[in-house]
Amino acid sequence: MAINLSVPGAGGAVINIPFATQANESYASSLLAAIYTAKATGNPPIFTAYASQGTPPTPPAGDINEFVVDNNGAVTVPAGYQYILDDSSGTSSIVGGSQSAITYVAGQGGLTFTAGSGSGTVVAGGGNNTLYAPGTGSGNFNVVLDGSGSNAGYLGSGNWNVTTGTGSGTFFLGTGADTVFAQGPDTVVGGTGPETVSASGNGGEFFAGQASSTLLVDTGTGNIGVGGSGAETIFAAGSSGEYFTGNGYMEYLNSGNGNILVQQGSATVLAFGGTGSATYFTQGSSPLVLVDQSSTSTVVSSSPTVAGAQIFGGPGSVVNFYGPNNNNLFIAGAGNETLNAAGGSGNNVFFSGTGSDSLVGGSGSDFFIESAGTGSETLTGGGGSNTFQFVSHPGSNATDLITDFKSTDSLSLAGYGSAPGSGIQSETVQGGSLLVTLTDGTKITFNNVTQPLNSSQIHNT
């Protein structure tokens, strides 16, 4: 059911413009506040002209001047009119003029609006609407499209701020600084100017422009974002989104659930994992940098030639890694976290943190570095010939566990002295495991190791 916006005209006339939602009717009403004030006070006078009456007269200076599009036709905005009111029942075509600060309010019949060099605000109450701006010379416009119709925009120039309806829409941006608030399953294609897209709808597709800066804020479900060659920032706060890098720099912040980021080409990605869950596919020539915070993340590398990722854990984070490439870095921070590369087959490096962490290697030859001197680390080497390095930290109270130390693995002691075995204070077998105490106070339990370490397995650096 339509919601009528009733606008006072000259001589007691009322122009009724239907809207799909109360919110946008109220917004349009706020834009016409000067008309309602003039009606209530009688000052200044209201002057109204109608498109159906032919060429409009020159309006009086100082009046509230309205031009009413009431004939479903094509009109060019005449000079001197501040308010363009479209109450026609069918599709209207309006060509903007050169004036600035013009307010255009159309109903549900559908509007085709072509921008002139002037600027203003366009509000359409529903229907199927189309926006055009020339490649150069367009003014700047704020646009609100109501209802569930199909909308389109070809915005070659000017700065546009567009709020879509709940229906589908396709918008091509241009050279200006454009912002689109996408409330439906919209498709937005960036241009060469800076662009911002805020997507609260579901099933939309958003393509960054080439060599432009892009900001995408996604709170919807099942949206797709595709990067370009410029700098991009994505806030993935919705769910089940899919995002693809271009060849530029991307900052990606995930706080939703079930989102996927695909790094490709030469794109450099700095990703931040929030409280949700996400999957990262890395298949480019630049490293993925992931700073994970209290989330569950999966990182998948596509081939041995992919650049090694740099993964930073945070309190409560869980990161699972799969892939055949080498030189991935897993860096634990404060708090308790799990950095699990059991699905990896390359040679990777792990750095312990200050909390109680679980660091898990894969089938390659991995290198584990414990240098914090505090916390409780659980280290699992996996297959391959792994090295577990402990860095001297006087006053250490670290108590660490190596779950699967085997004959091809080695213990590396850094900073304890250069003589073989320097740094080992004692070795004791108890409960089916070997407890090694280092001279700085670090205690290491070698699970299922029932005899002191072979000297060939201990290396001092």
Give the pLDDT confidence score for residue 375 in this predicted structure. Answer: 83
In a domain, 2, yes or no: yes
In a domain, 375, yes or no: no
CB 448, CB 435: distance < 8 Å: no
pLDDT tens per residue across span 260-312 = 999 998 999 999 998 889 999 999 899 999 999 888 999 999 999 999 999 99
In a domain, 151, yes or no: yes
Residues 312-316: contacts with CB within 8 Å, 24+ apart? 313/337, 313/338, 313/339, 313/353, 313/357, 314/273, 315/355
What is the mean pLDDT of the segment spanning 414-420? 94
Give the pLDDT confidence score for residue 163 in this predicted structure. Answer: 98
Give the pLDDT confidence score for residue 374 in this predicted structure. Answer: 85
In a domain, 150, yes or no: yes
For 447, half-sphere exposure in the C-beta direction (CA atoms, 13 angstrom radius) is: 9
**Does residue 89 have a pLDDT over 90?**
no
Give the pLDDT confidence score for residue 300 in this predicted structure. Answer: 97
**Does residue 43 have a pLDDT over 80?**
yes
In a domain, 31, yes or no: yes
In a domain, 63, yes or no: yes
The Cα–Cα gap between 434 and 287 comes to 38
The Cα–Cα gap between 36 and 29 comes to 9
373: pLDDT confidence band, cut at 50, 70 and 90? confident
Neighbours of 455 (CB within 10 A): 9
Mean pLDDT over each residue of the chain, to the nearest integer: 95
What is the mean pLDDT of the segment spanning 116-142? 97
Give the pLDDT confidence score for residue 154 in this predicted structure. Answer: 98
Residues 62-65: contacts with CB within 8 Å, 24+ apart? 64/34, 64/35, 64/38
Give the pLDDT confidence score for residue 198 in this predicted structure. Answer: 98
Bond from prior residue into 44 cis (ω within 30 degrees of 0) = yes
pLDDT tens per residue across span 1-22 = 689 999 999 999 999 999 999 9
Q: Among residues of the chain, what percentage have pLDDT more than 70? A: 100
In a domain, 155, yes or no: yes
Number of domains in the chain: 1
Please give the residue range of the domain that contains residue 84. Answer: 1-167
Residues 6+ apart with CB under 8 A from 405: 381, 388, 446, 447, 449
What is the mean pLDDT of the segment spanning 159-182? 97
DSSP string, 360-402: E--SS--EEEE-SSSSEEEEE--SS--EEEEE--TT---EEEE
What is the mean pLDDT of the segment spanning 199-215? 94
CB 373, CB 397: distance < 8 Å: yes
What global pTM score does this model have? 0.92
In a domain, 42, yes or no: yes
**Does residue 72 have a pLDDT over 90?**
no
The Cα–Cα gap between 401 and 351 comes to 15
CB 44, CB 53: distance < 8 Å: no
